[in-house]
Structure 1
């Protein structure tokens, strides 16, 4: 499916040199939202065969969910993508948020499960012939453990003090899923991108919990819930 997607885009761009990926995907999003296309967008739709592009992406989405064993989320994704009508009292945006939250929760749980397996010596190699050709040491995978109230070791010495928070700091959640959700909600509520120190200043907890923020932000970025600025030092929703 990935090769099919790549071939389709290259073929249409070769046939129409002025056709851009940005234009094609803007039209795709408008199709999913149910909005009417402007004349210029209809040209892009025809040149890029955007309905075909949409079908390929739908098939990829379904295949990925099936591979993870999460096919039960497909009906929700189809509503989020505008393929099926939303249920009573539900909007497309509601479905998108519900789908993102469900995937986020399952990814965090899967991360913890895989980390526990690797701690027991079970490593699920994706390409063992390259990753572990002989008896190669397994790469360590960082886990997102729950905070320990007895662990009062601070962050590394020399870290600059974060700026004063605009509001009273919130307790840092103990559960990994709640931690990721808390950071996502903070970024969504902020009008400007935040640095790691500014994010950390919005929460309070004991222990080296701040060291996990980069991993949480990377996970949110992979889900489209966080975006770094040009400097890579500040994050927004």
Structure 2
């Protein structure tokens, strides 16, 4: 309920959450996407309260969730936005499984510093590497853009996506960001009033119609594509490459290697000094989650999006 960062995750039905958690009993991943978006976080930070020494934001179900006007999604939008949520959720859980001591709060502290373009400490650099936080940032930005688009508010998306304050309160905001967030809240309040008027007339947009109203009829990363020309990656495999320290460079060099043809993770690791197999495998898994790389029978190749971009 009370936390520095407003983060939502999916849980298996076998998990029994305690009283300190807010649980939404829905199996629609598009709901996870919307509540994870900058749009909902802005609403919840404004509608919720504050608690504790750190004045952390408090999520109140009746004020933050029940009053929030979800976008009206068609079937393709529901599927697409749900896929963004699945990628985000999978990425975080995978990195925490790889690094059991890695905490979500630490990951999002680093994410906030990346958005603010602030330097990282050595400890934060380790969190950045373990959590692949640059990938986390790309996933959040992609999800945010999809949700803004669902509302039809791309003008605000261009002013807000990628800026700090997306998961935690930001006190010292630039004027343009503060004005854009104020406009966002104004539109959400107007939409809330519109939905309230509709409900008076009997038109309710249930999140779980099969449970809430079974007899009613419901109305209907960016990761940069490293399109390096083939001539730029014609380095001989026998020549050992240095494994970059920065995550962005690791992504770039692996994509360049995959441009030369499919390979297994050990084969790719062999091309680098000291054979960084674990690091190579982690980056490949992240690229797969973003559809930038595909794995079949332990062999990795470029994802469909990149393959299409370099096809003759």
Structure showing greater relative contact order (alpha-carbon pairs closer than 8 Å, 6 or more residues apart): 2
* TM-score (norm. length: structure 2): 0.38
* TM-score (norm. length: structure 1): 0.49
